[in-house]
């Protein structure tokens, strides 16, 4: 394989959860542009269909399926439909997630369980289905790459993010467990996590608003504080994260598994 081709994904099939908008939509677009056929899943049907339309209009191959990542049965049917419709299953991007912003004291157990249900249970169910399908003898059976979206908050403490951080810390260690197990069993499946800093998405705008309400600082002050936390001096873009996901999905990272890749403008290092 020529060196320049190692980043290509021709002949691969990817499933991206939470792919209707934000980071998930950009991951789907980048993977499709690299040659993968992409199954975009989300509970947001209209936005998901729009993302797929944008991919197909630019020459890519993509399908949309409504998918609740907390539903085990839905995972099984989604994987089956991906294989039947697109001809395989080589890449899973566990991107779907929710967040709660607030102090530990102000949070509720209901908040905690809801975030864990989506961010942790959803990743567990996805990895389990992917491993069963991708391993030798599975319905896809040609190995693959799993990329779990964690967060900077899964690496370091962030004020007002304890509930969210707990879920993303769990994803970080679970990723390593899956990576080691699949490696030792000779499954040909790699598993890595990506840890974004603050990225310019709708979720970031929600974080600004909630931080403004919690601290009393103006929205401009909140944005300036978050921006300054990144040593590179800017917030991330969805493309920054999607490019990292593409790398981990590709053969260019064939000897990388069980790592946490911080894509955070240097925040975790500072």
Q: Known catalytic residue: 164?
A: yes
Over 231-267, what HEC string results? CCCCCECHHHHHHHHHHHHCHHHCCCCCCEEEECCCH
Query: Catalytic one among 109, 124, 164, 208?
Result: 164
Residue appearing with tokens 């979206």: 149
Q: How far is CA 53 from CA 15, 44, 132, 258, in A?
A: 16, 14, 30, 34
Contact by Cβ (8 Å): 93, 245: yes
| Residue 20: both structure tokens together | 């209707």
Residue 156's Cβ-count burial label (10 Å; 0-12, 13-18, 19+) is middle
For the annotated catalytic residues, the residue numbers are 164
């Amino acid at each position: 394989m020529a060196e320049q081709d190692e980043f290509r994904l021709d002949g691969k099939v990817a499933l991206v959860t939470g792919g209707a908008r934000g980071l998930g939509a950009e991951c789907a677009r980048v993977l499709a542009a690299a040659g993968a056929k992409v199954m975009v899943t989300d509970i947001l049907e209209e936005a998901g269909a729009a993302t797929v339309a944008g991919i197909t209009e630019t020459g890519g191959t993509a399908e949309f399926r409504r998918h609740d990542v907390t539903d085990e049965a839905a995972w099984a049917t989604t994987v089956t439909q991906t294989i039947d419709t697109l001809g395989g299953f080589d890449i899973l991007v566990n991107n779907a997630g929710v967040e709660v912003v607030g102090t530990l004291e102000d949070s509720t157990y209901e908040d905690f369980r809801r975030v864990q249900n989506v961010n942790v249970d959803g990743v567990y169910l996805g990895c389990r289905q992917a491993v069963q399908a991708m391993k030798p003898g599975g319905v896809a059976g040609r190995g693959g790459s799993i990329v779990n979206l964690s967060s900077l908050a899964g690496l370091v403490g962030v004020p007002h993010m304890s509930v969210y951080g707990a879920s993303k810390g769990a994803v970080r260690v679970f990723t390593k467990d899956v990576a080691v197990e699949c490696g030792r069993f000779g499954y040909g499946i790699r598993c890595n996590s990506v840890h974004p800093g603050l990225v310019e998405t709708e979720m970031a705008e929600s974080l600004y608003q909630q931080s403004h309400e919690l601290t009393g600082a103006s929205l401009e002050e909140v944005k300036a504080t978050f921006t300054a936390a990144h040593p590179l001096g800017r917030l991330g873009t969805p493309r920054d994260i999607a490019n990292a996901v593409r790398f981990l999905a590709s053969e260019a990272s064939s000897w990388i598994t069980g790592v946490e890749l911080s894509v955070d403008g240097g925040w975790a290092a500072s």
